[in-house]
Amino acid sequence: MPVDDLSRFKQTYFDESAELLAVAEAGLLRLAPGGVDMDEVNAIFRAVHSIKGGGGAFGFGELVAFAHEFETVMDGVRNADIPVTTGLVDTLIRANDVLAQMLSYAADGTEAPAGTTDDTVAALRRFLGKADPAPGAAAPPPEPAALLPDDEDDEAGIFGDALAAIQAARDDRPAAALPGAIPDGKVRWTIVFRPKAELLLSGNEPTYMLRALRRLGEAEIVCHLDRLPSLRDLDAELLHLSWTVTLLADAGVDRARIDDVFEFVADDCDIRISAEAPPPAVIPPAEAVSANAAPANLPEPAAPTAAPAAPPAATTSSPSGPPPGGAKPKANGNGGDHAGPTTHTIRVDLDKIDRLVNMVGEMVITQAMIAEHLRDLPPGQFQELREGLEGLAQHTRELRESVMSIRAQPVSSVFSRMPRLVRECAAATGKEVMLVTSGETTEVDKTVVENLVDPLTHMIRNSIDHGLEGPDERERIGKPRAGTVHLSAAHRSGRIVIEVTDDGRGINRAKVLSKAIEKGLVQPGASLSDEEIDHLIFLPGFSTADQVSNLSGRGVGMDVVRRNISSLGGRIGVYSAPGEGSRFVLSLPLTLAVLDGMVISVGEERFVLPLTNIVESLRPKPADLHGLVNKCDVMMARGEYVRLVHLHRLFGIPRAIDDATRGLVVLVETEDGSRLGLVVDEVLGQQQVVIKSLEANFRRLDGVAAATILGDGRVALILDVAGLREMSRHSGTTTTAPTTTSALPALQDQADQRQRQPV
């Protein structure tokens, strides 16, 4: 592989560095004077160290120099030489930001402006008890040793793949040789294979890998038993063995052949491979240096410290690479273990997954079509075909779920950004805030996760800026000085529900209302319920802060939050109690691709109702139906009045059943628990449908969430129950000016709200 190809590994490096930065930041935010968690400190150190190591491999000198400064201070913290103070944490957080900046310069291929790191470097050095000799000067490069590989580089162990590939590229010509008894035409490989303890659990078997190595040439395998626990402590399924293999192979056996052996376990082990060829592979010194210096954390040059407990093998000849002195041995709290992430992951282009999702979607449709044709077959015949198709249906469903789960990500990736935000907001407002999060592991589609960042950021800012009182005020009214913002996520009936709750003063309704009147959003004298007033904050351009603050008042209002959420097929609600706090509830679909639906017919048309919305379907008796003058029909269902919505009236569909007692009423429920009765002709059956975006192919329609293709090839619209409720309110009322109706459906809800109260 030509070295030019390395550029594509840069992207991996930047991606992974971003993850490491997040790890470091999360750790730093938890770092507090007093109870210092050494695991946390180690994790931060490893993250920075890995970024430095990878940066060295790509020759990002300035970045490496800065990371080195950062790392040195972290090392001091790790060894308890530097006490953890608030000032230190602030500086380290700033250093983390600067490191992010340096990475983004490196990613853009631009030079960082001179002096980018100066202040931070100076601040970092103050903690080392060193005066910065020239505050204005750029950070001096670290001592060469820092650029040289050491056995702890890539501490987080996550650059394995990319770096192994770089290594392979550079290894195409075997590295400079040391004299040794290697026959001509042979290469001696030294492979140090140190599996993680969990290797066996993923179904891998070292026996076969070592056997495969033995087949490549003459192998001498040394098994290291030094890490074996006692008989009492041994966990039967964890592996504590490691190996050093000395392989004398033909020159035809290249690095790739050896890598192939470990192809499936690259993430599950620490492998160091080095090669020696017989003499005349003369490499100019300069190049030799770069080959050694650049791949800073490559598996290669196994300095003696690298091999576990220096194998008692004279056969393991001294590897090529820098002299042992070049590798700076460090105190390592981890006993040399590579404490990388234990989950085994593979990076896949999102496009590929989306294609897969699409194909599975098409398959779901095809399967539905076949199932439809099957219904036409004479009953009692083709039993095997029927059974086979049932199996197919089940497998399709499982396949769909598996594919969807590939796209699913825990919301923790969003939640983890919030502590930082809270810290900043608290500092900016002088309030004391405690952030409590729960349900971080809740998984949701990647697109949804990505688009949650902005709305959540805004909502949390809003809660701190507008919701929480200052510490003194809180104390006066008998609340704890520190306010609490609770961020939670949970799955609820096929959707994800995210809540932001604060224990602040709640929404100041008088203020909201007067502001709305002042802005002409509400007519003076209009009587609005508390809930309606609360929902006014979602109106475009609405802001109650007397002074536009730095935080919430950035021209982004709650209306944008609502728009973002609804573009994801979600909804937002607010519940507030004066003096006690407010609660914002987001409800979002788990996936944007497939849903379980009930196909209904209205006239000649077919619609799909999401199964999660359906409560029951029934045919009402005439006595259950009540008409309200100038309003709408309601139905008594299970002791509760439910508003009836005639779909054919709403969508103007001819030849449909108008009389609910002759058709059917499908009782549906929205996320906020309010119910609605949809009058339809018939319920045709349950079906998995593939969601095809209406916005992408046509445009947004009220009351319609998306479209789908049914088994018979017809296009059917997927109904949006909450949207239908809003539409039905519009069609039934006459009180509010049309200009505001679309923006403020809640205003028409008053009568409706009352109807829905149980009687």
Partner 1 sequence: MSLIKWTEEDGRVRLGLPSDLDLPMAQPLLDSLRAGLAASADVTVQADQVERISAACVQALVVAARDAAERGAAFTVAAPSEVLSEACEDLGLAAWLKEWSGESRA
Asked if 236 is part of the footprint of partner 1 (rule: CB under 8 A), the reply reads: yes
Across the beta sheet with 495-502, the strand order is 433-438, 483-492, 495-502, 581-589, 571-577
Asked if 309 is part of the footprint of partner 1 (rule: CB under 8 A), the reply reads: no
Q: Enumerate long-range contacts of 713-720, CB under 8 Å, 24 or more apart.
A: 713/369, 714/606, 716/599, 716/605, 716/606, 716/607, 716/608, 716/689, 717/607, 717/608, 718/595, 718/597, 718/607, 718/608, 718/609, 718/610, 718/689, 718/691, 719/607, 719/608, 719/609, 719/610, 719/647, 719/678
Least distance in angstroms from the C-beta of 246 to partner 1: 11
Asked if 314 is part of the footprint of partner 1 (rule: CB under 8 A), the reply reads: no
Contact call for residues 27 and 48 (beta carbons, < 8 A):
no
User: What is the number of helices (H) and of strands (E) in the chain?
Assistant: 25, 22
Tokens of 210: 């070592």
Q: Which of 3/228 has CB closer to partner 1?
A: 228
Q: Which of 36, 145, 165, 241 binds partner 1 (CB under 8 A)?
A: 241
Q: Which of 224/338 has CB closer to partner 1?
A: 224
Q: x/- contact string, 111-150, with partner 1 (CB under 8 A)? A: ----------------------------------------
Asked if 229 is part of the footprint of partner 1 (rule: CB under 8 A), the reply reads: yes
Give the H/E segment covering residue 261.
Answer: helix 255-261
- Residues binding partner 1: what is the number (CB under 8 A)? 28
Q: What is the DSSP letter of 465?
A: I
Asked if 211 is part of the footprint of partner 1 (rule: CB under 8 A), the reply reads: yes
Closest CA to 221 of 236, 206, 240: 206
Closest CA to 747 of 731, 758, 732, 736: 736
Q: Which of 36, 165, 176, 222 binds partner 1 (CB under 8 A)?
A: 222
Asked if 228 is part of the footprint of partner 1 (rule: CB under 8 A), the reply reads: yes
614-618/664-669 β-pairing: antiparallel
Q: Which of 207, 381, 383, 757 binds partner 1 (CB under 8 A)?
A: 207
Candidate ranges 176-184, 233-241, 255-263, 585-593; the one touching partner 1 (CB under 8 A): 233-241
Q: Which of 33/312 has CB closer to partner 1?
A: 312
Contact call for residues 91 and 35 (beta carbons, < 8 A):
no
One-letter amino acid at 529 equals: S
Q: Which 3 state secondary structure label does DSSP give 25?
A: helix
Q: Which of 131, 232, 699, 738 binds partner 1 (CB under 8 A)?
A: 232
Least distance in angstroms from the C-beta of 157 to partner 1: 21
Q: Which of 310/743 has CB closer to partner 1?
A: 310
Asked if 239 is part of the footprint of partner 1 (rule: CB under 8 A), the reply reads: yes
Candidate ranges 98-106, 200-208, 259-267, 655-663; the one touching partner 1 (CB under 8 A): 200-208
Q: Which residues does 27 contact at the CB level (< 8 Å), separation at least 6? A: 40, 41, 43, 44, 47
Asked if 574 is part of the footprint of partner 1 (rule: CB under 8 A), the reply reads: no
Would the CA dihedral through 136, 137, 138, 139 be positive or negative?
negative
Contact call for residues 466 and 582 (beta carbons, < 8 A):
no
Q: Which of 263/349 has CB closer to partner 1?
A: 263
Phi, psi of 252 (to 5 degrees): -65, -20
Q: Which of 38, 80, 114, 234 binds partner 1 (CB under 8 A)?
A: 234
Q: What is the DSSP letter of 236?
A: T
Asked if 227 is part of the footprint of partner 1 (rule: CB under 8 A), the reply reads: no
Q: Which of 165, 221, 363, 701 binds partner 1 (CB under 8 A)?
A: 221
Q: Which of 230, 383, 734, 739 binds partner 1 (CB under 8 A)?
A: 230
Asked if 206 is part of the footprint of partner 1 (rule: CB under 8 A), the reply reads: yes
Least distance in angstroms from the C-beta of 227 to partner 1: 11
Q: Under the rule (CB under 8 A), what is the footprint of partner 1?
A: 200-201, 203, 205-208, 210-211, 214, 221-223, 225, 228-232, 234, 236-241, 243, 245
